[in-house]
Structure 1
Amino acid sequence: MIPAAEHAYAHTKHLILSGEAPGGTLLSEAQLGAEIGVSRTPVHEAFLRLAAEGLLTLEPRRGAVVVPMSPREAQNVLDLREAIEATAARRVLDGGGDDTLLAALEEALAEQRTALAAGDVERFVEADQWFHAAVVDGSGNDLAGHFYGLLRDRQQRIRHQLFRVQPGTLADSLADHEAMLGALRSGGDYAGLLRTHIARNQGAL
């Protein structure tokens, strides 16, 4: 059984990253605890963790407020993401590709196709993260994987925002991924395709 504090943490973090609780939303320990069936104490612990991660600010006698992601912060995340992934992809291409990586990317694309057909944005976003992280991990650069992982939550928040603002970009994102997989197979311009792909996120800023 998941500890109450961990449950409260995961639930609240999901609300923030998915955009269900957008920036500026006031969260109440009592209300959230009642919603998920736990006392205020584990919710308070969860709020403290999320405040340490920069996702909440705690205000005495009011509760917790979701910290908005500024356009500058989002742009910084996208810039770092592009730099890390483009470098990783270059190493993959220099190594002649990897059948295990290509199979994993195919699996991620199949998951995205299923999610798109079902209109399941949450599932699509998870597969999106899976696809890009697989490329970084496939480079064998452990430091790149570490720093890319540090961006994960912020990337997920941007993705959810994009797909909420422009739901039509789900199909465009899938097409981008298919082209990027093709580039890894053929030695094509992965970095150029990635730049175009990430530029779509500008619509969420």
Structure 2
Amino acid sequence: MDTRLSAADRTYAHTKDAILSRRYVGGEILSEGDIAADVGVSRTPVREALLRLEAEGLVRLYPKRGALVVPVSQQEIDDVIETRRLVEGYTAERAAEAGQEARRELVATLTGHLDAMNAHLENDRRAFVLADREFHRAIVTASGNEILIHLYGTLRDRQLRMMEEGTRTAARMRRNIEEHGAILEAIRAGDPAAARTAVRVHMDGAATLLGARR
């Protein structure tokens, strides 16, 4: 962990990573003292970090008891998928509508992320997931809308803890690469309708994987 960060930032990063990676599982009560001991800080930065995580909907604070890791609900799964459909369908369409030079630059960036996904397919699942996330982030970022960019990051954080162990199979990862390729080609061609359709197909797969109802 980056020791240049403040104590509160280090505690926030540690606790959030533990929640997203499910080292802290849904329904678990977290003790301020235990977190403080793990990170090597006092309880004050722990309280600050937990307040930030509560604002993000990841924990619920109970005075004198600790922080409950909010379990993933069916409603949350449905809402995340629905919101990703809206955000990413819109931004992919915007990207395909952009001028030729802007599309060329974005396609170069997306190709790099797609190459990374291919390179890590067999040997580094964590790096594959990061490249996957950065592929989508690049499209959202190209919209220039800071609110959507922040929202995308929040959605992907929430989705990360929804993934059951073993659901991200090699076959599903290869399908992800194919679906990402379809999105890339639609943007390259400057075809907004095809870009939105490619995102819809991709999100249909994510919805099935997570058990979303819409």
Q: What amino acid is the match of 2:136?
A: H
The one-character-per-residue Cα deviations of 1:121-168 (angstroms, maximum 9, x if unpaired) are 2x333222211121122244x2xx423422422323314533635121
**In 2, Cα distance between equivalents of 1:139 and 1:44:** 35
RMSD over aligned Cα atoms: 2.2
Q: What amino acid is the match of 2:204?
A: A
Is residue 28 from structure 1 mapped to residue 34 from structure 2 by the alignment? no
Q: 1:119 aligns with which of 103, 108, 124?
A: 124
Quote how far apart the aligned CAs of 1:57 are. 0.8
1:1-205 aligned at under 5 Å gives the runs 1-97=4-100, 98-121=103-126, 123-140=127-144, 142=145, 145-162=146-163, 164-168=165-169, 169-187=172-190, 189-202=194-207, 203-205=209-211
Quote how far apart the aligned CAs of 1:2 are. 1.6
Asked if 2 retains the 8 angstrom alpha-carbon contact of 1:92 and 1:138, the reply is: yes
> How many aligned residue pairs are there?
201
Quote how far apart the aligned CAs of 1:49 are. 1.7
Asked if 2 retains the 8 angstrom alpha-carbon contact of 1:17 and 1:153, the reply is: no
Asked if 2 retains the 8 angstrom alpha-carbon contact of 1:158 and 1:201, the reply is: no
Tell me: CA distance 1:46–1:95, structure 2 relative to 1, closer, same or farther (3 Å). closer
The one-character-per-residue Cα deviations of 1:80-117 (angstroms, maximum 9, x if unpaired) are 22122222222222335511101110111122223323
Three-state SS of the structure 1 residue aligned to 2:72 is coil
Asked if 2 retains the 8 angstrom alpha-carbon contact of 1:125 and 1:160, the reply is: no
Q: What amino acid is the match of 1:108?
A: H
Q: Which runs of 5+ in 1 are unaligned?
A: none
Quote how far apart the aligned CAs of 1:16 are. 1.7
Asked if 1 retains the 8 angstrom alpha-carbon contact of 2:179 and 2:198, the reply is: yes
